[in-house]
Amino acid sequence: MSKKTYIVGITGGSASGKTLFLNRLRSAFSTDELTIISQDDYYKKREFQPLDERGVENFDTPFSIDSEAFARDIRALCEGRSVEKEEYTFNNPALTPKIHTYTPAPILIVEGIFVFYFPEIAKMLDLKIFLDAKEYIKLKRRIIRDRNERGYDIEDVLYRYENHVAPTYERYIEPFKNDADIIIPNNAHFDKALEVLTGFLRSKFGKDTK
């Protein structure tokens, strides 16, 4: 793997605000400077998802993700090869999947709730960032997102949060919080943290990321 690529892992609990943070970070760089690859595009098909005791698919476990394909595509980008991946639409029939094209860049952002958990991915990260938020704030964000983007009703959202999301955070995400190089509180805003990270990445590459 070429070390010309600087790999930043960004994680945090579900609805900790990663999407907004990543969109703001992306806007600070050109596509030639920075690429973001998302764990969300590596969910296994619905029929391969683990079931809970009520027979409900649990999309909030590490076993829901094709981590081997995720790691393979990260390595491909670091070797200078582009990657195409179909968007995962969380079984929302109202959405038509897009084809995401990831292109090599000096800075590669690897994001997802399990990027610290998977050893084959965690060992590739040069910088680890953990977005943190209070539980009630994450729940509010999750309700809004899952109703608007994924078509889940409120009872389904609350059931999944209590039985899937919260236990997964305690078992597979929070224990790796202390592995982070930077922890960013994201209960209200993250402007200062984003400014610091952007400045650091620019200084890291100097003229390569003007």
Q: pLDDT digit string (tens) for 30-74?
A: 999 999 999 999 999 888 899 999 998 899 999 999 999 999 999
pLDDT for position 89: 75
Distances (CA, A) of 108 to 7, 94, 171: 5, 31, 27
pTM (2 d.p.)? 0.86
Q: Cα torsion for 32, 112, 88, 96, to the nearest 10°?
A: -60
Q: pLDDT digit string (tens) for 168-202?
A: 999 999 999 999 999 998 887 899 999 999 999 99
Look at the alpha carbons of 43, 44, 50, 52 in this order and tell me if their dihedral is positive or negative: positive
Tokens found for residue 166 = 């919260």
Q: How many CB atoms lie within 10 A of CB 92?
A: 13
pLDDT for position 208: 46
